[in-house]
Amino acid sequence: MEYDNNNVFARILRKEIPATIVYEDEYALAFHDVFPKTPIHILVIPKGEFISFFDFSEKATFELMVGFTKAIHHVIKSFELQKDGFRILSNHGVHGGQEVPHYHVHIFGGRPLGRMISEQL
């Protein structure tokens, strides 16, 4: 599968469409999810053409992997989510329910988050 340069997060990275940005550095951009599922719901995306975690973990440099992870840490800390807890999640493909084909990590917090996943096997 080819990276789609016109996916919505690629366009947010290029600042072609707006987002409520909460953090940015040379490795990553973080912004509020437009349809938040929890009181705090932030998306963190790497700067680069990566479709999902699977693609990123194959192709990204060690420097970008570390920088991206540190950016997630920075966002968690800036919202003080380490105090009461949070969840990070990333979807891939059809079974994962991925909607936007640019790698992103969801950060959920601000309330108890319930079970990890739906119970059905």
Which residues have a catalytic role annotated? Answer: 104
97: contact with ligand AMP by CB under 6 A: yes
Q: Binding mask 17-46 vs ligand AMP (x if CB under 6 A, - otherwise)?
A: --x-------------xxx-------x---
- Distance (Å) of CA 43 to CA 1, 32, 108: 23, 6, 9
Among 54, 57, 62, 63, which residue's Cα sits nearest to residue 26? 63
Options 49, 67, 72, 98; binder of ligand AMP; rule CB under 6 A: 98
Shortest separation between residue 80's beta carbon and ligand AMP, angstroms: 22
Options 7, 54, 88, 91; binder of ligand AMP; rule CB under 6 A: 91
Options 2, 26, 99, 119; binder of ligand AMP; rule CB under 6 A: 99
Which residues contact ligand AMP (rule: CB under 6 A)?
8, 19, 33-35, 43, 91, 97-100
